[in-house]
Amino acid sequence: MEKGLTRGRSVKELIAATLYAACRLENEPYTINDIAKAVGRSSKRIGKLYRLVVSELKIAPPKRDAKRFLSTVTGKVSVIKNLKPSEVAKIQREAYKILEQADKLHLTRGKDPVGMAAAAIVLACERLGIEGPSFRELAKSVGKTEITIKNRYKDLKEKI
């Protein structure tokens, strides 16, 4: 309030941006889209306010870790939801290993963590011989484009 952040701005959007900043600081696997959907506001507007909050409060949220999004992504995909819990656990473990290797090779730097987690799940299903979700289904479920997931998949498959 004393910094004048609320002047001329929606309090609801500012609270959503602040909540997202808190999620980032605590390394919680929520995206701006998740929060925007929950409050019924534009993710673009919340993103702008998030950057303002971070700048004004001089906070530095840590980089997002794709491994933290594995359970979120698997929970959103109907093909995976219909699998046995033991198969889902296998997929998550394999995807985790893939992302660990990707981190070591610096493949995750500057890449969207949700897209990277989704691509790791596709590759994990392929390696385990489990029929997993299509790129289209994954993209629709997690709010990313098919191209994003395909590009991350290609990076992972070629280098890991």
Which DSSP category does 4 fall into?
Answer: -
Break the chain into its structural domains and give their ranges: 11-57, 66-159
Cβ atoms of residues 22 and 35 within 8 Å: no
Alpha-carbon distance values, 66 to 8, 12, 118 (Å): 35, 28, 9
* Residue 79 pLDDT: 85
What is this structure's pTM? 0.84
Mean pLDDT value of segment 11-22: 95
CATH class of 66-159: mainly alpha
* Residue 118 pLDDT: 97
18-36 confidence digits (pLDDT tens): 999 999 999 999 999 999 9
* Residue 2 pLDDT: 58
Mean pLDDT value of segment 61-88: 91
Cβ atoms of residues 48 and 73 within 8 Å: no
CA atoms of 18 and 56, how far apart (whole Å) = 12
Sign, Cα dihedral of 115, 120, 126, 132: negative
